[in-house]
Structure 1
Amino acid sequence: MMTKQDIYNKLVHTLPKECVLLDESLSKYTYTHTGGNADLFVTPTSYEETQTVIRFAREHNVPVTLLGNGSNLIVRDGGIRGIVLSLVKLTDITVTDTTITAQSGAAIIDVSRMALHHTLTGLEFACGIPGSVGGALFMNAGAYGGEVADVLASVIVLTEDGELLNLKREELELEYRNSSIATNKYIALEATFKLAPGEHEVIKAKMDELTFLRESKQPLEYPSCGSVFKRPPGYFAGKLIQDSGLQGKIIGGAQVSTKHAGFIVNINNATAKDYTTLIKFVQDTVKEKFGVDLETEVKIIGEE
């Protein structure tokens, strides 16, 4: 069994040294500002380097955890063993006619702004989604009546064996907050979006409206993991939580937001344990009062 120092020593021979960090705190990379250390935190600068990491991990039986931009994620306080792979250095966005191709480390907000700049319509809904392109693909992110599935044309992914695949939208089994990228444990490297010509002022007005709605309704003044729960059929998670009398409920440094009950915010140096304990409390209370199971939309990973 290789130690983390052994893994580090081997990886710095194949990747730039600044791309491999040992015992890196993951609280720096999550929107909640919580999370323990990664044994190795690796940030490749190309698809080839990403393949190298995946093939190395496969050959040496080292676990790999993919980290997006940490916007809809809780990393437990015990951190993550093995390699944490972050594609934050893969951020290129290019436009050709009515298509936009973006690497997975780019912010989906930046892609929507690029669409506006080129007077292309279809990505307005994404102007307030804080995630990366890769994260948006992974969970078929959506907001305000739109979702990635509506405009996605194709993706380039990396399999667990380190093989590159170019997949069309139809092959991705896109559904509410899920995709075959997630179920097959693919690593998304690049997405191509098919948009339509529009009018700059109309696109901008829509984006301004959605940005106002987001800023007025969501607790952006505190660290949070975004919307914690999926929308249960026939209900709204936030209203169920509010009607359960849980708005403002605090455990440790985590609080059910007083601005939007579907969010849990870090108001006082919360730990991941504070977050997960409060999530469980909310789920149990809503189940008891309304008989509804709240399923988490936020991803919870790592060791206790």
Structure 2
Amino acid sequence: MKYDTFVELFPTMRILKKEPLAKYTNTETGGMADVLAFPKTVAEVKLLVNMANENGIPLTVLGNSSNLVVKDGGIRGLVIILTDMDQITVSGTKIMAQAGASLIETTERAYQAGLTHFEFAAGIPGSVGGAVFMNAGAYSGEICQVLTEVSVITRAGYVKTMVNEEMNFGYRHSQIQDDHDIILEATFILKEGNKHNIRETMDNFNFLRASKQPLEYPSCGSVFKRPEGYFAGKLIHDAGLQGYQVGGARVSTKHAGFIVNVDGATATDYMDVIKHVQDTVWEKFNVKLETEVRIIGED
């Protein structure tokens, strides 16, 4: 299907052709999307999914692209970015947030409503959809602890609701990763709390994050999963890899678990650094580092 057809069928939707995804990823790397669409409603997402299915068009869905590396060859077919679907609604102790809503903004809304147990996510830079997809977490908290249900659209184009128990949550894992469904909205159940204490906890977590993480550079966040019995950052530090650099991608000297874009890095630079870190840690400590960051696209 031609690009012009997308524009004709969705005259009010922002649709771009041959758009560099480096504009939208937190690493500021990534090749071009053949067609990039920004739906604003569930109905528009459903229409795009059905169109892709009917025409055999490859479909990729992105959120805030904060824990993601898109390869330099880009992504073929249709890419949907959900950041225009960003409504957040508070009702009692429930928060309903669309997939493209900022996780940080969602935690702020929780604070404003005097709701606690979401403080752990105060500084996580992704979208709600991405956070649910990855079961994002920090400071002993995880999405699975507060999520009650999630609305998704299957790759066959059907909308359904999944409750927490159906999500098969694990460390940086959810059932969505296995089923390849598209998250539309998540509902969180929180508890009433003291606003002063909530703000104090959020500010403390954000202070710790800023003091320990290289937030001054573009990055994809924490690159590696925590190996059982170890900490990825310490293994990388002990392997003497901080400061290791390929092209513009460097293992952070501030936090060894991060790879930062210090000088116009490409996705290939990132992947070369990741492989070198994995190989070196395996050679020195016999520990396999698995990536937490998603790596997608074509070489």
Please classify the TM superposition score into its range, dividing by the shorter chain length. over 0.9
- Aligned partners of 2:30, 2:162: CA distance in 1, in Å? 33
Give the aligned partner of residue 147 of structure 2. 152
Are the equivalent residues in 2 in contact too, given 1:68–1:134 (CA < 8 A)?
yes
TM-score (normalizing by structure 2): 0.99
Tell whether 2:67 aligns with 1:80: no
Are the equivalent residues in 1 in contact too, given 2:147–2:189 (CA < 8 A)?
yes
Tell whether 2:83 aligns with 1:107: no
CA deviation map 1:11-54 (0-9, x unaligned):
22221355211000100000110001000001111000000000
Tell whether 2:250 aligns with 1:255: yes
Give the aligned partner of residue 37 of structure 1. 32
Are the equivalent residues in 1 in contact too, given 2:30–2:72 (CA < 8 A)?
yes
Give the drift of 1:88.
0.8
- Aligned partners of 2:243, 2:117: CA distance in 1, in Å? 36
Give the aligned partner of residue 136 of structure 1. 131
CA deviation map 1:203-242 (0-9, x unaligned):
0110011000000000001110000000000000000000
Give the aligned partner of residue 272 of structure 1. 267
SS in 2 for 1:128: coil
Give the drift of 1:9.
2.1
Q: 1:224 aligns with which of 219, 225, 231?
A: 219
- Aligned partners of 2:280, 2:169: CA distance in 1, in Å? 31
Are the equivalent residues in 1 in contact too, given 2:133–2:173 (CA < 8 A)?
yes
Tell whether 2:194 aligns with 1:187: no
Give the drift of 1:172.
0.9
* One-letter amino acid matched to 1:237: A
Q: Structure 2, unaligned stretches of length 5 or more? A: none
Tell whether 2:283 aligns with 1:288: yes
- Aligned partners of 1:15, 1:193: CA distance in 2, in Å? 32
- Aligned partners of 2:179, 2:124: CA distance in 1, in Å? 24
SS in 1 for 2:264: coil
- Aligned partners of 2:13, 2:163: CA distance in 1, in Å? 34
Give the drift of 1:67.
1.1
Give the aligned partner of residue 208 of structure 2. 213
* One-letter amino acid matched to 1:287: W
Give the aligned partner of residue 176 of structure 1. 171
- Aligned partners of 1:181, 1:198: CA distance in 2, in Å? 31
Give the aligned partner of residue 70 of structure 1. 65
- Aligned partners of 1:282, 1:17: CA distance in 2, in Å? 45
CA deviation map 1:173-221 (0-9, x unaligned):
1111011111100100000000000000010110011000000000001
Aligned length: 299
SS in 1 for 2:8: coil
Tell whether 2:4 aligns with 1:9: yes
SS in 2 for 1:297: coil
Are the equivalent residues in 2 in contact too, given 1:15–1:44 (CA < 8 A)?
no
Percent identical among aligned pairs is: 56
Pairwise CA RMSD of aligned residues?
0.8
TM-score (normalizing by structure 1): 0.97
Tell whether 2:89 aligns with 1:94: yes
Q: Which moved more, 1:254-263 or 1:16-25?
A: 16-25
- Aligned partners of 1:264, 1:156: CA distance in 2, in Å? 33
- Aligned partners of 1:18, 1:94: CA distance in 2, in Å? 23
Stretches of 4+ moved more than 4 A in 1?
none
Q: 1:123 aligns with which of 118, 127, 148?
A: 118
SS in 2 for 1:190: strand
Q: Structure 1, unaligned stretches of length 5 or more? A: none
* One-letter amino acid matched to 2:234: K
- Aligned partners of 1:299, 1:168: CA distance in 2, in Å? 24
SS in 2 for 1:176: coil
